[in-house]
Amino acid sequence: MAQLTRRAAALNKSLPAAILAARGLATASTSPITVETSLPFTAHKIDPPSRSVETSSQELLTFFRDMALMRRMEIAADSLYKAKLIRGFCHLYDGQEAVCVGMEAAINRKDCIITAYRDHCIFLGRGGTLLEAFAELMGRKDGCSKGKGGSMHFYKKEGGFYGGHGIVGAQVPLGCGLAFAQKYSKDESVTFAMYGDGAANQGQLFEALNMAALWDLPAILVCENNHYGMGTAEWRAAKSPAYYKRGDYVPGLKVDGMDALAVKQACKFAKEHALKNGPIILEMDTYRYHGHSMSDPGSTYRTRDEISGVRQERDPIERIRKLVLAHDIATEKELKDTEKEVRKEVDEAIAQAKESPMPDPSELFTNVYVKGLGTESFGADRKEVRTVLP
């Protein structure tokens, strides 16, 4: 099973190179292409980066494929939830893929990412596999958190991904703690602590930012502003919805979060700043197509026309598709073939995840208590643990 997954991943990861080779562009695949961002950056207490972003044929095709894969994964998760193969809470990321993909293009795996519960695509961007993702969603043993975390608690420490977190805003102080460790070890890396516009009003965010600024920590606070905290529009919950200015004494940057290249430019800029000067806030102006969670139809507090309008005018995948076609990097058919391959890969991963066994019941008692505490009530022996549980 694992070999099949690796072969499928290797095959599909080579698709951009295969397209370039077929079109006689293999030697030019990494040649620079300069593209201007769709919108200018808006800055607070700092000069904004240039709107001219350097990319390549290879990168644009990889962006397209990765976002198409993420989109398909989330659509499939929707179906699995409705089929009751995914239980509990489930928050989907479709529409916001440019934030994840653009960020990864600007950083490396020594840099850390920590986020809230809308975490599936960020896990994939950090090197996680589809099998690990779907198995975790379905509570299976082969999941990234051994089936015990579910949708909200993906994790991949070796990929620099410190999890999805269920308590609103609580991941930001943890992210600043990661940044403290990075500064202490002098490893020239940064932490991206991600949160939504709803969490932007949480007190612990400001407390953590204060300490990060006092100690000049390499912390980048990323507000993924999809404009609705659960079902509440930003203007109804925030007196000042200019989240990039919220740090006051900390510089900030507002970014078109539906433009993967703008996100890449902003994250590269933010990393350079944070390593030299300490924290910075990035506000990603983005949008989610699904509701807040699977229990939310997403259409009671916003109109269907609003959703379809964003899809038509700002969709991150369609923007990259237009760039690829405009620069004659691939044909429409080749891009559709990529989407077919992505669909096949997702279907294969789901089939494998369904075969994965459920965790053993004994797993309920692992990763709960530290071994060797030496007390009668909380000993390492599982029989002792059972005696103190109802």
Render pLDDT for 284-339 as a digit per residue (tens, 0 to 9).
999 999 999 999 999 999 999 999 999 999 999 999 999 999 999 999 999 999 99
**What residue ranges of the chain have pLDDT lower than 50?**
1-12, 27, 375-390
Sorted by where each begins, the domain ranges of the chain are: 2-355, 360-390
Q: Are 116 and 168 in contact (CB under 8 A)?
A: yes
CATH topology of domain 2-355: Rossmann fold (3.40.50)
CA atoms within 13 A on the CB side of 257: 24
The pLDDT of residue 26: 53
How far CA 115 is from CA of 101, 143, 154, 195, 355, in Å, comes to 15, 18, 10, 6, 29
- Alpha-carbon distance of 183 to 219, in angstroms, equals 10
- Would you state the pLDDT for residue 131? 98
Q: Give the per-residue pLDDT at 30.
A: 79
